[in-house]
Amino acid sequence: MSEREYILRVKDLVIEFKTEKGIIRAVDGVSFDVRKGEPLGIVGESGCGKSVTSLSILRLIPEPPGKIASGSIELDGVDMVQLSKQEVRQMRGKTASMIFQEPMTALNPVYTVGNQMCEVIRVHQDVSKKEALQIAEDMLKTVDIESPEKRLKQYPHELSGGMRQRVMIAMALSCNPKLLIADEPTTALDVTVQAQVMEEIERIQKEREMGLILITHDLGVIAEACERVIVMYCGKIVEVAPTEELFRKPKHPYTKGLLASIPKVREEKLETLPTIEGMVPDLAELPVGCRFADRCPKVQKRCRLEEPRLDVVGTDREVSCFYPD
């Protein structure tokens, strides 16, 4: 595939944090691509580096204590790692934008919804305040907000959680980004609202043929919304596969464990990722060899001596294990 067909190419990304225990590698040599218009899912247990990876794309990691130690992040052909703060701001919102779990972190409580949306729109588009308000109103309609004129005049605290999340999505989409990064976008919402907001994201992604990176612990949502899935474990990618194949035939023992522990009858929505027995190793005291070894049912001598690499299997899968299925 030619360079042009990718909206994002992450290569050998290493992200470090200074902590009390010393320098830890939250992301350790991660490489992946997102094709134009492709919805990609990222799953993995808490602390495996999903948020840090996704934040780094728009250079949103707190520096310090964090730091992109090495690697490249080509967003629409531009290496984000090499850009100045000013140049990074030009890419945010326009080329890619991000929505978070808690909309209040992105919304400013002291400005009206209309004012905030206009500000975002006018950073990238040469339009008058009035024109910007019109764009904002249209965007609120796109995310199915009723009486948008009224909402534009309100402050974030006057809106329900679901409404705030829709406003944040509308804001993220207002400059027509080619890539949307959604980190647990519905976790903070009521279960009924979760489904609606997710449907909205899916619909807009398809309509606009926008690239999407979706991070969620809800494997059902991944199955529905994503073409491909990345499975992370302890700062590394352990498996990449088309969604359907990953669910049907997981190759990495960790992925297998995750899928096996989803209850067959889902009486209520899972609030966290299914759990696998054993503990994730501490990033400050990583074992030699495979990071999953202590929890792996297939562990062998070699696994404790050498670290497996992420290798291509077949045409479109990758797995990092000496003894994959």
Ligand X SMILES: Nc1ncnc2c1ncn2[C@@H]1O[C@H](COP(=O)(O)OP(=O)(O)OP(=O)(O)O)[C@@H](O)[C@H]1O
For residue 308, the partner it binds in ligand X, ligand SF4, Mg ion, none, with Cβ less than 5 to 8 A by kind, is ligand SF4
Among the residue ranges 44-52, 80-88, 108-116, 133-141, the one whose residues contact ligand X (CB under 6 A): 44-52
Torsion over CA: 87, 92, 95, 96 (sign): positive
CB 278 within 8 A of CB 294: yes
**Least distance to ligand X, CB of residue 147, Å:** 34
Does 182 interact with ligand X (rule: CB under 6 A)? no
Tokens, residue 274: 């299914």
The partner residues of 30 in beta bridges, in order of sequence, read 13
Residue from 46, 108, 160, 275 touching ligand X (CB under 6 A): that is: 46
Of residues 111 and 323, the one with the C-beta less far from ligand SF4: 323
Among the residue ranges 37-45, 47-55, 171-179, 288-296, the one whose residues contact ligand SF4 (CB under 6 A): 288-296
Residue from 49, 66, 156, 308 touching ligand SF4 (CB under 6 A): that is: 308
H helix runs in the chain, sequence order: 50-57, 85-91, 113-124, 129-142, 148-152, 161-173, 191-208, 219-225, 243-248, 253-260
CB 279 within 8 A of CB 255: no
Subset of residues 265 to 304 that bind ligand X, contact rule: CB under 6 A: 283
For residue 103, the partner it binds in ligand SF4, Mg ion, ligand X, none, with Cβ less than 5 to 8 A by kind, is none
**Least distance to ligand SF4, CB of residue 306, Å:** 8
**Least distance to ligand SF4, CB of residue 324, Å:** 7
Does 253 interact with ligand SF4 (rule: CB under 6 A)? yes
- Please state, in angstroms and rounded to a whole number, the distance separating the CA atoms of residues 203 and 29: 33
* Residue found by looking up tokens 């994002």 in the block: 8
